[in-house]
Amino acid sequence: MDALAQLRSQLTELGSLVHLVHPDRRLFEDRLWQLQQGFQALAAGDQTAIQPALTEISRVLRLIAVDIAFLRASRQPQTIQHRQAQIGDRLAQLATWLDYLQRQSPWS
């Protein structure tokens, strides 16, 4: 499996957790960590042509990490749902950036 396909698979796994009524918050963190590791491996090379996209992906991953931290601390169902929706929106942003990388891909 190529690097982008693996990232997309990890993104899908993380996305499936967003729709659970009572998500395992530690599992969220584990899946995010796997996604971050995959992204770091992808971004490790000299990718100057796509550096702005890689920077944006890194930013979104950090925001998801913050959202997951807040999700773990959430007690009210309304707050949990809000955080889950926010994470879902950010995962959609990541999917868009992965599509962009696929089109620009030096990995294809």
pLDDT per residue over 17-49, tens digit each? 887 777 777 888 888 898 888 888 877 766 777
- Of 33, 38, 47, 51, which is closest to residue 7 (Cα–Cα)? 38
More confident residue, 105 or 65: 65
Q: What is the pLDDT of residue 61?
A: 94
pLDDT per residue over 65-82, tens digit each? 999 889 888 889 899 889
Tell me the CB-side half-sphere exposure of residue 33, using CA atoms within 13 A: 7
CATH classification of the domain holding 29? 1.20.120
Q: What's 37-68 look like in SS3?
A: HHHHHHHCCCCHHHHHHHHHHHHHHHHHHHHH
pLDDT-wise least confident of 10-14, 42-46, 47-51, 83-87: 42-46
Q: How many structural domains comprise the chain?
A: 1
Given a cut of 70, is residue 106 above it in pLDDT?
Answer: no
pLDDT mean across residues, the chain:
85
Report residue 54 as tokens: 């890689």
- Domain of 46, in residue numbers: 3-104
Q: What is the pLDDT of residue 46?
A: 60
The pLDDT confidence band at residue 107, using thresholds 50, 70 and 90, is low
Distance CA 6, CA 21 (A): 26
